[in-house]
Amino acid sequence: MRARQSRPSVARVYSYVLGGRDNYGVDKDVGDYFIEDLPGSELLAITNRQAVLRAAKVMAQAGIRQFIDMGCGLPASVNVHEVVREIQPDARLVYIDDDPFVVAHGRALLAVDEGIAVVEADIRDPGGIEKHADVQRLITFDEPVGLLFGITLSFVNDEEDPTGVVQYWTDRVPTDSQVFVTHFRSGTTRQAIATAHKILEAFGRGRFRTDDEIRACFGTLTLDEDGLRPCAQWRPEPTEAETHQPELTVWEELVVGGLARKP
């Protein structure tokens, strides 16, 4: 664990920017850079999180009752299983993260019953995830599955084949399964360049991609009618739509999401 404390964690920095307290000084240093030196950049985390929760709700409304959250991060004030179970009370969920700190907290706070598991695994190893005992116990691959990739593919380098990661699951889940991806979008503004540089510097990996590159991550799947759009504009709740400013900030433009259904 000491090695983990010596460098920032994506999940812990993300949580810190959202107001979480489970982090170390090294995470705060990175988070404070975004909050203080790039004011407004916290919208990257906020609008991404809101879109992931809305996508989970949309999937549950479509009848999906089992979910895998690929890169869940630290527990938040509202979590995916809480949103899903308001619609599908018997829904089963597997939360995935590669940070032992995150997994320990998740097992304490998220795994509230036998229908929820928190698994330490790397999304770049989909075969290992599929074979994990908790995934085998909770996920039935002959029934629709909801797959959530909340910003995680942004930290899969090109040579690690983010499209292949998604395609692995596409090949294994049945018709009517759904895949939701959010991703950092490349930009040319000073803020966009500074953000991408800091993320690569802090975490040693990360890639802001163009819209075409992000669409390519869906592999053989076709995006739904909403297409790929900024998370702030991806199916906002009525109350959010009423209060949101019509013009997006530069930060809101930098994180996009899209949903696809397996035909």
Residue with the larger pLDDT of the pair 73 and 185:
185
Q: Which of 9-13, 26-30, 256-260 has the highest mean pLDDT?
A: 256-260
Domain boundaries, the chain: 2-261
Section 50-70 average pLDDT:
98
Prediction pTM value: 0.91
- CA 86 vs CA 2, 12, 80, 189, 253: distances in Å: 38, 27, 10, 40, 30
Q: What is the dihedral of CA 153, 155, 157, 163, to 10 degrees?
A: -10
Per-residue pLDDT, 245: 59
State the sign of the Cα–Cα–Cα–Cα dihedral 71, 216, 220, 176. positive
Q: Are 184 and 208 in contact (CB under 8 A)?
A: yes
Per-residue pLDDT, 45: 87
The mean predicted confidence, pLDDT, of the chain is: 90
Per-residue pLDDT, 138: 98
Per-residue pLDDT, 1: 37
pLDDT at 260 over 80: yes
- CA 130 vs CA 11, 119, 228, 230: distances in Å: 22, 11, 27, 30
Per-residue pLDDT, 26: 83
Q: What are the tens digits of pLDDT across the range 67-122?
A: 999 998 888 889 999 999 999 999 999 999 998 888 998 899 898 999 999 999 99
Residue with the larger pLDDT of the pair 241 and 204:
204
Query: What single-letter amino acid sits at 4?
Result: R
Section 54-69 average pLDDT:
98
Residue with the larger pLDDT of the pair 216 and 1:
216
Q: Are 24 and 2 in contact (CB under 8 A)?
A: no
Residue with the larger pLDDT of the pair 184 and 237:
184
Residue with the larger pLDDT of the pair 208 and 243:
208
pLDDT at 244 over 70: no
Per-residue pLDDT, 243: 58
Name the band, by pLDDT with cuts 50, 70 and 90, for residue 246: low
Per-residue pLDDT, 3: 42
pLDDT at 6 over 70: no
Per-residue pLDDT, 28: 82
Residue 17's contacts (CB-CB under 8 Å, 6 or more residues apart) are 31, 34, 35, 42, 44, 45
Specify the CATH superfamily of domain 2-261.
Vaccinia Virus protein VP39 (3.40.50.150)
Section 227-237 average pLDDT:
95
Section 240-250 average pLDDT:
69
Section 153-163 average pLDDT:
96
Query: What single-letter amino acid sits at 178?
Result: Q
Per-residue pLDDT, 162: 97
Please, what is the angle between helix 42-61 and helix 10-17, to 10°? 100
